[in-house]
Each structure stands twice: as structure tokens, then as C-alpha cells.
Chains A and B, each alone.
With several copies, the nearest count.
Chain A
Amino acid sequence: MTVRVQQAAFDIGDEIDGMRAGDARVGAIATFIGTVRDVNDAASVSALVLEHYPGMTESALGEIVADAKSRWNILDALVVHRVGKLEPTEAIVLVAVTSAHRQDAFAACEFIMDFLKTRAPFWKKETTPAGERWVDARQSDDDAAARWSPDTR
């Protein structure tokens, strides 16, 4: 279980290869990559700045990953999240989960993303033609996280 917060870009293939290297128990790897779009809420976006709460970010992500591991039969999980200035098409976040079977890997990967979106202290500020603006949180993200109440599997 690894969580990393970094300014630098990451190589998706290297990250996935690294986490599953040599583990022949792995039969399934589910991954999610979030990337910067050039449009959001009807405005064009030329850049994004990701701010975070340094003291808390890794521990919040670590807790989400540990929670996923307690709910599903997964072998490993990796979260890499970038901070700082990003441009359209750049990767913001990578979540990768390994498991023997695909259902556990998919569910844990989606769970980690839903809670990352609502619990991990990151904030996006967009540059649009009208200037900079903080991105508003989405109700749909709260709804997605609420699906995973403790008694729902």
C-alpha cells in the first residue's frame, strides 16, 4: 500500500509495472487516471493549480486505502496525486489496485476514487478566460461516496 503526493509527472506504465512486479498472485489490476480537461462548467480551462494540506494529505489517503483493504480482498493499492500547476491532458491522479480477481480490484479502485474526491484535502483552481476561479465541489461526488456505507458491499 503506497500513497504519494508529488509535483512531478509520473509514468503510468512504470507505476503499474512497479506495483505488480513479480507478484504471480495478481490476476487483476484496475486503474484509474484523472486528467486535466480543457473545459469545465462551460468555461475553457488553460491551466489548473492543485493545492493541498501537506500535513494531512498522505494520512487521509492512507486511511482511504486501508479502508479499501479492509473491505475487499486486494493485494496492493497505489495512489499517486500531483500538486502544483498542471495543463490540459496532464495526469492529476493515478489509483491502481491489484487483486486475484477483477471484482475486488474494480470495487476497491472505484471506492478509493470516490473517497479521494470527498475526503482527501486537495483543491483545484482553474485558469479561465475570465480569470482564476476555485473549482466547486460536486454534489455527485458526495452521492458517489455515500454509496459505500459500511453495510453496502
Chain B
Amino acid sequence: MLDTRTETLHVVYLARLREAFASSGEAFAFAGDGTTVAEVIETLRGRGGAWATELAPGRAVRIAVNQVMASPSTRVHAGDEVALFPPVTGG
């Protein structure tokens, strides 16, 4: 049987999250189609440390999937670019 964990998406961290995670992004192995952004975040949170702090429930985290604003319930697919970032403050 195929190990679906070999499917990957690319996670991008921006602004305060990029600094807190000391990473601008990474390849992320996941269970394949049907997985939601909320589930991806839940997995990241499980790493503890800055991940648990910055992604704690109640912290405002914004999401874009393939560079379009998305929500925790958005489903992701192999190859997707999932960006996590704080509320925007441009202008």
C-alpha cells in the first residue's frame, strides 16, 4: 500500500512567523488530498516551542493557499504552497 505521507506541500512562513520559526519555509509531508490547513497547523503546533506559541489557538494567523487568501477549512493538495503569516499591516 502507498504511504500517503510521501505527498508533500510547501509551507511558507512570513514576517513575525518567519522570524519566530527561524525559517522562511519548508517541504511538509502530509496525508494527501482531503487534509485541511487546520490539520497542517495542528501538526506544526505539535512541534512545541515557538511553533506552539505562535500557532496557539486564539493567535491570529492568516493563511494563503497558492497565493490566494484561504481559511483553516481550506483543503490542500500535493504541491500546494501554503503560507502562514500574521494579519497584514501594509499601506
On A, residues with C-beta under 8 Å from B are 34, 50-53, 55-56, 59-60, 81, 92-93, 102, 113, 116-125, 134-137
- When the two chains form their complex, are residues B91 and A51 in contact, meaning their CB atoms are under 8 A apart? no
Complex: A53 Cα to B88 Cα, angstroms: 10
Given contacts A121-B85, A124-B89, A137-B60, A51 and B15 within 8 Å (CB-CB)? yes
Cβ distance A12 to chain B, nearest Cβ, rounded Å = 16
B91 in contact with A34 (CB, 8 Å): yes
With A53-B85, A55-B81 as known contacts, state yes or no: A92 contacts B16, CB within 8 Å. no
The count of A-to-B residue pairs whose CB atoms sit within 8 angstroms is: 75
Known: A51-B15, A55-B67, A123-B15. A137 touches B89 (CB 8 A): yes
Complex contacts, B87 vs chain A, CB 8 Å: 118, 136-137
A113 touching B91 in the complex, CB below 8 Å, given contacts A123-B86, A137-B86: yes
